Amino acid sequence: MQIHQTAIVSKKAKLADDIQVGPYSIISDNVVIGQGTKIGSHCVIEGNTTIGKNCEIFTGAVLGSRPQDLKYKGEKVFLEIGNGNIIREYCTFNPGTIEGNSKTVVGNDNLFMAYSHIAHDCVVGNNCIIANNGTLAGHVTIEDKAVVGGLVAIHQFVKVGTLSIIGGCSKVVQDVPPYSTCDGHPARVYGLNLIGLRRHKINLETLHGLKKAFKILFNSGLSPKHAADRIEEELRHIPEVLYLLNFVRSSQRGIARSCLIKE
């Protein structure tokens, strides 16, 4: 264990024997940190925070401080961070609240660029990228492999679908469908995230099926419910399309509307 002499580390914290802690960092009583994790200088890790293996936490990150919710009155709440995450300079992650699920959960192998904020009761999946100053309000869900651009603000309770990408400086107030490119103020759907889909080797039949589904959902003039019924009737043989339909049908805030999807 490599702990800088200026760091303040509670003897009650549960730390793997090979972690590194940089100058002037503070680790509080109830923190648990897994093997291979590196913590930079001037970081603060407090509360009931668990960090997995092989994470990298850079200068000035603050993880586990009390949620920014006026209803919070000192209840026992949690922040859970998985393995292989890169948390860059001055990121802030808050634990959950009793009104939520009592915990904020971050999955594995995510990149959080400088000044990212993950608020109370958020759930972030695996292999996501949150760019500089990306801001998640409370109760936001980010599914696997999503990309959130720099300076994006996401409203409470919004859900961002898998393999979607949100352009920088967007204001996101409704759910972002899986596999989509979304941008604007407020954010609108511009089509499929073709680059992301191709990078993840989605086959040509699936790409064509998703493109057709998007046109029905956004260009047909049908309500989301009736559009989803039509899509299911025509494209139910494609698993990714069925995933999209389930996302649309379960949306609580409504789906972000679109500019017309091009032919």
Which residues are annotated as catalytic?
120-121, 138
Furthest CA-CA distance within the chain: 65
**Residue ranges in 120-189 assigned as alpha helix (H):** none
242 residue type, one letter? L
**What sign results for the dihedral spanned by CA atoms 145, 151, 152, 154?**
positive
Cα separation, 47 vs 60, in Å, equals 17
Number of residues in the chain: 263
Strand order through the sheet with 14-15? 14-15, 32-33, 48-51, 78-81, 103-106, 123-124, 141-142, 159-160
Is residue 79 classed exposed, middle or buried when 0-12, 13-18 and 19+ CB atoms within 10 A define those classes? buried
- How far is 8 from 15, CA to CA, in rounded Å? 13
User: For residues 203 and 185, is the Cβ–Cβ distance under 8 A?
Assistant: no
